[in-house]
Structure 1
Amino acid sequence: MSGARTPVGSAEKGAAKQTVTISFAGFNRAWAAWIGDRLERRGLRVVYLRWDSPAEIPLEDLLRDLKLSEGRVLIIVSEWYFQLGPRSHDEWNAALRTVVAPDPARFAAVSVTTAPVPTAAAVLAPTDLTNMGADEAERRLLDRLDLPIDPLPESANGARRGPRFPAAMPEVWGGVPRRNTRFTGREPLLNDAYHLLQGAEPGAGVVTMHGMSGVGKTQLAAEYVYRFGSEYDVVWWVNAENRVSYRRLLAELAPRLGLETGQEYGERLRAVRDSLRRGVPFARWLLVLDGADEPDQIWDLVPTGPGHVLITSRNPEWSEHNSRLLEVPVYERYESVAFIRRRAPRLTEAEADQLAEALEDLPLLLDQTAGWLNDSDLSVEEYIGLLEGGIDQDVVKVSADFPLAFQTAWSILLNKLRETVPESVDLLRLCTFFAPGFIPVRLLKEMPHDELPEQIAGLLNDPLLWNKAINQLRQYSVVRLESHDTTSDDTAASGESLYLHRMVHQIVRKDMPDEDREEFIEVVRRALAAADPRRPTDPELWPAYAEIVPHLDYAEVLNSTDSTVQRLVFNCLRYMFFSGEYQAGIKLGERALDTWRSLLGQTHPRIWELTYHYANLLRAVGEYGRTEAIERVAVDHLREERGPQDLEHLRAAGGLAADLRGLGRYNEAFELSQWILAAYRELLGEQDSRTLNAQNNLGATLVLLGRYEEALGLDRQTMEARRLLLRARHPWTLYSEFAYATDLRLLGRYPAAESIQAKNVKELLNVMGSNNPYTLKAQHNLALCHYRSGDREKAGPLLARVLERAERVFGETDPNTLIFVTSQSCFARENGDIDQARELSEAVVARYEMMLGDGHPFVAGVRANHALVLRGVGEREHAHALIEQSLADMTAAVGESHPWTLGCAINASALRSLVGDPESSAELSKATVARASEVLGRTHPMTLSARIAHAADLRALRDRRQAEKVEQEALSDLAATLGSQHVHTVSARARNRPYWDFEPQTV
Structure 2
Amino acid sequence: MNRAGDVGGQSLQFRDNSGRVTVVQHAAPGPLGKVAGQVVIGKVPRSPQGFRVPVKLDSLREVAAAGVAVVVAVTGQRGVGKTQLAAAYARERAGQGWLVGWIAAENAATMASDLLDLADALGLRGADDEPSDRVLGRLRAHLNAYTGSGLLVFDNVTDPDDVVEHLPVAGSLQVIVTSTSTDTHNIGTPVAVDVFSPTTAIAFLSDLTQLDDEPGAAAVAEELGYLPLSLALAGARIRDHERSYADYLRHLDETTLDHLVPAKGHGYPAALTKTILLSVGRVEADHPHARLLLEAIALLAPDGVHRTLLETLLPTRDDFLTTAAALRRASLIDYAGEDGNTYLMHRLSQRVLREASSSLDETATKVTAALETHLPARNRSWELRAIGADLARHLAALTRHSAAALGLANQTTHFLHATANPATIPHAATTHRHHKIHLGGDHPKTLISADNLAISLDAFGRLDEAIPLHEQTLADHRRTLGNDHPSTLTSANNLATAYDNAGRLDDAIPLYEQTLADSRRILGNDHPDTLNSANNLAYAYNTAGRLDEAITLHQQTLADRRRTLGNDHPNTLTSANNLATAYNNAGRLDEAIPLYEQTLNDRRRTLGNDHPNTLNSANNLAGAYDNAGRLDDAIPLYEQTLNDRRQILGNDHPDTLNSANNLAYAYNAAGRLDDAIPLYKQAAVDCERVLGPNHPTTVAVTRNYAIALEEASKRG
Give the TM-score, by structure 1 length: 0.50
Structure 2 counterpart of 1:479, from 318, 321, 333: 333
| Residue number in structure 2 paired with 1:781 | 620
Q: Deviations over 1:341-396 (max 9, x none)?
A: 53344468899899878877754344334444567566699979x99xx999xx98
1:434 aligns with 2:300: yes
Distance 1:379 1:677, change over 3 A: closer
Q: 1:180 Cα shift?
A: 1.4
| Residue number in structure 1 paired with 2:414 | 574
Structure 2 counterpart of 1:742, from 576, 581, 598: 581
Q: Deviations over 1:862-918 (max 9, x none)?
A: 4432431442464xxxxxxxxxxxxxxxxxxxxxxxxxxxxxxxxxxxxxxx8xxxx
Structure 1 residues not aligned, in runs of 5+ = 1-174, 201-205, 243-290, 448-459, 875-913, 915-991, 993-1003
Whole-Å separation in 2 of the counterparts to 1:337 and 1:222: 27
What SS does the corresponding residue of 2:512 show, helix, strand or coil? helix
| Residue number in structure 2 paired with 1:414 | 277
Structure 1 counterpart of 2:674, from 817, 820, 832: 832
Q: Conserved in 2, the CA contact under 8 Å of 1:343 and 1:371?
A: yes
- 2:232 maps to a residue whose letter is D
Distance 1:207 1:391, change over 3 A: same
Q: 1:588 Cα shift?
A: 4.0
1:657 aligns with 2:657: no
Whole-Å separation in 2 of the counterparts to 1:331 and 1:324: 26
- 1:831 maps to a residue whose letter is L
Distance 1:735 1:241, change over 3 A: farther
1:610-759 superposed matches below 5 A: 610-639=449-478, 644-759=483-598
What SS does the corresponding residue of 2:304 show, helix, strand or coil? strand
Q: Conserved in 1, the CA contact under 8 Å of 2:304 and 2:344?
A: yes
Distance 1:182 1:700, change over 3 A: closer
Q: Conserved in 2, the CA contact under 8 Å of 1:734 and 1:760?
A: yes
Whole-Å separation in 2 of the counterparts to 1:649 and 1:784: 37
1:902-921 superposed matches below 5 A: none
The number of aligned residues is 604
Distance 1:467 1:303, change over 3 A: same
- 1:414 maps to a residue whose letter is L
Whole-Å separation in 1 of the counterparts to 2:75 and 2:352: 18
Distance 1:477 1:648, change over 3 A: closer
Q: 1:412 Cα shift?
A: 4.1
Which range is displaced more, 337-346 or 728-737?
A: 337-346
Distance 1:605 1:699, change over 3 A: same
1:330-369 superposed matches below 5 A: 330=194, 339-346=204-211, 363-369=228-234
Q: 1:666 Cα shift?
A: 0.8
Q: Over aligned residues, Cα RMSD in angstroms?
A: 5.4
Q: Conserved in 2, the CA contact under 8 Å of 1:207 and 1:311?
A: no
Distance 1:504 1:720, change over 3 A: same
1:7-86 superposed matches below 5 A: none
Which range is displaced more, 318-327 or 468-477?
A: 318-327
Structure 2 residues not aligned, in runs of 5+ = 1-44, 124-147, 158-162, 177-190
| Residue number in structure 2 paired with 1:799 | 638
Distance 1:223 1:611, change over 3 A: closer
Whole-Å separation in 1 of the counterparts to 2:51 and 2:471: 61
1:981-1000 superposed matches below 5 A: none
1:75-154 superposed matches below 5 A: none
Q: Conserved in 2, the CA contact under 8 Å of 1:842 and 1:866?
A: no
Whole-Å separation in 1 of the counterparts to 2:339 and 2:390: 17
Q: Conserved in 1, the CA contact under 8 Å of 2:580 and 2:595?
A: yes
Q: Which protein is bigger by CA-based radius of gyration?
A: 1
- 2:368 maps to a residue whose letter is L
1:219-618 superposed matches below 5 A: 295-296=114-115, 298-299=117-118, 314=155, 324-325=174-175, 329-330=193-194, 339-346=204-211, 363-372=228-237, 406-412=269-275, 414-415=277-278, 418=281, 421=284, 428-429=294-295, 431-439=297-305, 446=312, 473-481=327-335, 486=339, 498-510=343-355, 512=356, 516-517=357-358, 519-529=359-369, 531-533=371-373, 537=378, 538-539=380-381, 548-556=391-399, 560=403, 566-582=406-422, 584-597=423-436, 599-618=438-457
Whole-Å separation in 1 of the counterparts to 2:651 and 2:317: 51
Q: Deviations over 1:51-80 (max 9, x none)?
A: xxxxxxxxxxxxxxxxxxxxxxxxxxxxxx
Whole-Å separation in 1 of the counterparts to 2:90 and 2:706: 54
Q: Deviations over 1:589-611 (max 9, x none)?
A: 33444444455454343343333
Q: Conserved in 2, the CA contact under 8 Å of 1:431 and 1:441?
A: no
Distance 1:363 1:555, change over 3 A: same
Distance 1:761 1:377, change over 3 A: same
Q: Deviations over 1:176-214 (max 9, x none)?
A: 766417667567369879x98xxx9xxxxx999976664
| Residue number in structure 2 paired with 1:921 | none
Q: 1:735 Cα shift?
A: 1.6
Q: 1:804 Cα shift?
A: 4.1
Q: Deviations over 1:395-418 (max 9, x none)?
A: 989787xxx6x5424424534654
Q: Conserved in 1, the CA contact under 8 Å of 2:550 and 2:582?
A: yes
Whole-Å separation in 1 of the counterparts to 2:482 and 2:629: 53
| Residue number in structure 1 paired with 2:42 | none
Structure 1 counterpart of 2:50, from 175, 180, 195: 180
Distance 1:577 1:352, change over 3 A: same
Whole-Å separation in 2 of the counterparts to 1:222 and 1:800: 42
Q: Conserved in 2, the CA contact under 8 Å of 1:692 and 1:718?
A: yes
| Residue number in structure 1 paired with 2:3 | none
Q: 1:661 Cα shift?
A: 0.5
Q: Deviations over 1:554-577 (max 9, x none)?
A: 4448854x7xx5542332221222
Whole-Å separation in 1 of the counterparts to 2:547 and 2:636: 28
Whole-Å separation in 2 of the counterparts to 1:366 and 1:701: 67
Q: Conserved in 1, the CA contact under 8 Å of 2:295 and 2:360?
A: yes
Q: Conserved in 1, the CA contact under 8 Å of 2:310 and 2:370?
A: no
Q: Conserved in 2, the CA contact under 8 Å of 1:822 and 1:844?
A: no
What SS does the corresponding residue of 1:695 show, helix, strand or coil? helix
What SS does the corresponding residue of 1:432 show, helix, strand or coil? helix
Distance 1:872 1:216, change over 3 A: farther
| Residue number in structure 1 paired with 2:183 | none
Structure 2 counterpart of 1:841, from 678, 681, 684: 684
Higher RCO (CA < 8 A, seq sep 6+): 2
Q: 1:696 Cα shift?
A: 1.2
Q: 1:744 Cα shift?
A: 2.8
Q: Conserved in 2, the CA contact under 8 Å of 1:744 and 1:753?
A: yes
Identity of counterpart residues, as a percentage?
22
Whole-Å separation in 2 of the counterparts to 1:689 and 1:552: 29
Whole-Å separation in 1 of the counterparts to 2:317 and 2:521: 58
Whole-Å separation in 1 of the counterparts to 2:121 and 2:214: 44
